[in-house]
């Protein structure tokens, strides 16, 4: 019995093609997959035969549903060394893609969450389809929107990134293209044409996508932009809760109800992460912050409990360490952001 590799990396018609190939896990990333992608990207970086990079997935079930959360939780229950080793490699991959000298295209055809966002958001061309579902749902498992979320989310229009990070809202292509999360919309039946035309002109994927792009439809989020920008503009979770409660509309009440199901600790950590990330000068600075933060958070009760409730037992009834945001002190939050000693800090690839 032969087992196919979890990442298929090859050169086709001048394109360095990386295909995620772990369909039973919705192509969730593990350390070996990240290392394989890094190896290919490094090999192709100075290869004149490779004009651009294409990242896609095998089969029809999702682009990438995230990272290997069970492993991270099991490691966090101990010394977290395996989790930190995974984060170090994954974040180096995110940074490598962000700084890559050749055009990168990601075809986000299906579910894209967590780690999948991390390998698609740095791409120059990000193609959504009618099957795309985007979310950063980490506050629901006691985590925070990592893999660059501290950089990308605060740079979305207004406070939409704050809303997405805290609520874990799921968006379809009309919204993701409208907000700039994805650059183009192509129906799935146009993807073969995209690949064929790209093979003939591999150096300019944005021109190919521009020539084929379709209308994703009216974005539902547009009707709520003013409310999002006003109600999620505060620097404390308590103020956001109070503003939503005072607003009293059906939409605001629905957002508040959603927030009340999330880890209060995670909400506060995530909001602080985004506010810090908004002011950072480089993507590498953001990844160093998130690496230090991740090493602390994966060892918390809330992350362990969130994974138990959502992924292991699937009872969706987590017992968070704090019942309300007010019970999580500013000192507790700041402690998560303590910098690491220089010899333990995250660094990019050479």
Task: Kindly state the average pLDDT of the residues 108-133.
Answer: 97
Express each pLDDT in 329-346 by its tens digit: 999 999 999 999 999 999
Residue 293 contacts by C-beta under 8 Å, 6 or more apart in sequence? 144, 146, 269, 273, 336, 337
Helix or strand run (H / E) with residue 128: strand 125-128
Q: Hey, which residues are catalytic here?
A: 67, 115, 138, 146
| CB-based contact 102:14 (threshold 8 Å) | no
| CB-based contact 187:217 (threshold 8 Å) | no
347 in any annotated domain? no
| CB-based contact 238:111 (threshold 8 Å) | no
Express each pLDDT in 151-160 by its tens digit: 999 999 999 9
pLDDT above 60 for 1: no
**Distance between CA atoms of 276 and 278, rounded to whole angstroms?**
5
Sheet holding 125-128, edge to edge: 7-12, 15-20, 52-57, 103-108, 125-128, 184-185
Express each pLDDT in 195-241 by its tens digit: 999 999 999 999 999 999 999 999 999 999 999 999 999 999 999 99
φ and ψ of 241, to 5 deg? -60, -45
Question: What is the total count of domains within the chain?
Answer: 1
| CB-based contact 172:296 (threshold 8 Å) | no
Residue 8 contacts by C-beta under 8 Å, 6 or more apart in sequence? 17, 18, 19, 21, 58
pLDDT at 102: 98
| CB-based contact 61:26 (threshold 8 Å) | yes
Express each pLDDT in 55-92 by its tens digit: 999 988 789 998 889 899 999 999 999 999 999 999 99
Compute the C-alpha angle 185/67/336, nearest 5°.
Answer: 110
CA nearest 228: which of 255, 246, 257, 260? 255
348 in any annotated domain? no
**Distance between CA atoms of 330 and 271, rounded to whole angstroms?**
12
Q: Within the chain, what is the greatest distance between any pair of CA atoms?
A: 61
Bridge partners, residue 257, by sequence: none
**Distance between CA atoms of 308 and 315, rounded to whole angstroms?**
8
**Distance between CA atoms of 257 and 168, rounded to whole angstroms?**
12
Residue 223 contacts by C-beta under 8 Å, 6 or more apart in sequence? none
Range of the domain at 59: 7-336
pLDDT at 193: 97
pLDDT above 80 for 41: yes
Lookup: tokens for 173: 């292509």
Q: Look up residue 329 and give its DSSP letter.
A: -
Lookup: tokens for 344: 């333990």
349 in any annotated domain? no
CA nearest 64: which of 114, 106, 17? 114
Express each pLDDT in 314-326 by its tens digit: 999 999 999 999 9
pLDDT at 343: 94
Give the domain CATH number at 158. Answer: 3.90.226.10
């Amino acid at each position: 019995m032969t087992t196919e590799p979890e990442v298929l990396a090859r050169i086709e018609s001048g394109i360095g093609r990386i295909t995620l190939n772990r369909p039973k896990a919705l192509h969730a990333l593990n350390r070996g997959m990240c290392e394989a992608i890094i190896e290919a990207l490094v090999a192709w970086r100075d290869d004149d035969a490779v004009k651009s990079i294409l990242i896609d997935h095998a089969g029809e079930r999702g682009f990438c549903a995230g990272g290997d959360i069970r492993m991270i939780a099991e490691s966090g229950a101990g010394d977290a060394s395996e989790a930190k080793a995974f984060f170090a490699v994954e974040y180096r991959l995110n940074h490598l893609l962000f700084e890559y000298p050749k055009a990168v295209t990601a075809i986000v055809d299906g579910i894209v969450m967590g780690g999948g966002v991390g390998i698609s958001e740095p791409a120059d061309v990000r193609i959504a389809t009618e099957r795309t579902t985007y979310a950063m749902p980490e506050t629901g498992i006691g985590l925070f929107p990592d893999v660059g979320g501290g950089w990308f989310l605060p740079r979305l229009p207004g406070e939409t990134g704050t809303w997405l990070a805290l609520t874990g809202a799921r968006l379809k292509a009309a919204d993701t293209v409208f907000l700039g999360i994805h650059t183009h919309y192509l129906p799935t039946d146009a993807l073969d044409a995209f690949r064929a035309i790209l093979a003939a002109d591999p150096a300019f994927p944005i021109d190919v996508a521009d020539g084929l792009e379709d209308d994703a439809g009216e974005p539902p989020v547009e009707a709520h932009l003013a409310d999002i920008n006003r109600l999620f503009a505060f620097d404390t979770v308590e103020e956001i809760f109070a503003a939503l409660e005072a607003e009293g509309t059906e939409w605001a009440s629905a957002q508040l109800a959603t927030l009340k199901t999330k880890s209060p600790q995670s909400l506060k950590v995530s909001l602080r992460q985004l506010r810090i990330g908004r002011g950072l000068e480089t993507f590498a600075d953001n990844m160093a912050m998130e690496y230090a933060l991740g090493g602390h958070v994966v060892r918390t009760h809330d992350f362990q409990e969130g994974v138990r409730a959502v992924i292991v037992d699937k009872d969706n009834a987590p017992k968070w360490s704090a019942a309300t945001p007010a019970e999580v002190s500013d000192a507790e939050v700041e402690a998560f952001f303590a910098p690491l000693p220089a010899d333990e800090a995250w660094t990019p690839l050479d």
